[in-house]
Structure 1
Amino acid sequence: MCDFEIGNLLYLVLLGSALVFWAFVQNREALGKKMQALAAWGLIFLGVIAAVGLWEDIRQTVRPSQAVFAEEGRVVLPQEPDGHFYVTLDVNEAPVRFMVDTGATGTVLTERDAERAGLDPATLAFYSEARTANGVIRTAPVTLDNVRLGPFLDTSVPAYVNPGEMEQSLLGMSYLGRFDSLQIRQGELILER
């Protein structure tokens, strides 16, 4: 914290203390009721802080997640609130979250995800190009040793690494084409083999 932030914090603490002191002094005969109200507001405040701090965990348990039905050879991905479908694949034994992009020819990893999958971006040759909605980008072609989605294991999967400011790895048709059927129905993307 810088001096300015510490000064602001001290000011707010002092102001809050003065307001609490004034509220207690103003009506001393109802002190018991005030303590109850203060305790209730304190618990509400702590509840809000806990909900904000745990929001990601709460959201993960409430929203639907990908489901793999191995015996039926089917994977079901729910549509997310942003309208996209996401899937987590094990790429070279490392979990990588992809946004499904049926309009993309290839599968593209961010540099961060490529590193997690055991690829060293410093040793990659970024000599190929890809045309995207944001223009032409440089990419490095790679071959992923193994990609697993539930019981489905694929080897020697072609992909690209993007050195740019990509937020999310993209799962394109170079991988999705390995499935026999791909359909979107009632807010779900269903992949079948």
Structure 2
Amino acid sequence: MTGDDGMQLAYYILLLVVIGGAMLFELSGRGGQALRQLMLWVVIFAGAILAADWYLQGDMLPRQQVLEGGRIEIPVGRDGHFRLTARLNGTDVRFIVDTGASTIALGPDDARRIGIDPAGLAYVGRAMTANGPVQTAPVTIEELAIGDILDRNVRAQVIGGDLDGSLLGMSYLRTFARVSFEGDLLVLER
């Protein structure tokens, strides 16, 4: 258990004690009815904790594993997407791996985070997305690292529209000798 897990557990226990204590104080003297209502609230509280934990882990997990020999294993998320975290210019950026995207497509927020000012770019290209056409600006990412794999001067596009997050497309996926699926894993190998 990590320090964050311990703090989260302590928070839940404290919250349960406060709510449980308030319920016992409020319902004291009513015997069986109080016990039934207390049990109902315990079940509701436990369900809410489990639902929140499931929802939060769906966003945070699963994570890719970078193995020896340039192999990256990316588990499918609960939503069916493969998400990969790469370090761009020293900053972690979370990508959706998109074999339907022709290039690396950076959302404006991710571009800013890695030191590219979207407002100062020349949006001279166009791309077709699921939401229709968008303007694009060519950029070069100085360093893109996934574990021990490091690439320099990687070409990408900054999307001129409202793109939440970023897409890792075929221009980068083609740098791998093998891109395959093994059950619920997307495997990239150099």
AA in 2 matched with 1:41: L
Superposed structure 1 runs of 4+ greater than 4 Å apart: none
The question of whether the paired residues in 1 share the 8 Å contact of 2:63 and 2:83 is answered with: no
Measured after TM superposition, the shift of residue 74 of structure 1 is: 0.2
Using the TM superposition, name which of 154-163 and 94-103 deviates more.
Answer: 94-103
Using the TM superposition, name which of 45-54 and 139-148 deviates more.
Answer: 45-54
Gap runs ≥5 in structure 1: 1-23, 25-29
Aligned length: 165
Whole-Å separation in 2 of the counterparts to 1:174 and 1:58: 30
AA in 2 matched with 1:156: N
Question: What per-residue deviation string (whole Å, max 9, x for no partner) do you get for residues 36-91 of structure 1?
Answer: 22222232233233334444444467x5421110x232001112233332211111
Q: 1:101 aligns with which of 90, 95, 98?
A: 98
Q: Which residue of the partner structure matches residue 144 of structure 1?
A: 141
Of structures 1 and 2, the larger Rg is shown by 1
AA in 1 matched with 2:50: A
Q: 2:64 aligns with which of 58, 63, 66?
A: 66
TM alignment of 1:1-193, pairs within 5 A = 31-59=30-58, 64-69=62-67, 71-193=68-190
The question of whether the paired residues in 1 share the 8 Å contact of 2:58 and 2:78 is answered with: no
Measured after TM superposition, the shift of residue 163 of structure 1 is: 1.9
Classify 1:58/1:174 alpha carbon distance in 2 versus 1 (closer, same or farther; 3 Å): closer
Q: Aligned with 2:103: secondary structure?
A: coil
Gap runs ≥5 in structure 2: 1-26
The two structures, once aligned, show a CA RMSD in angstroms of 2.5
Measured after TM superposition, the shift of residue 120 of structure 1 is: 1.1
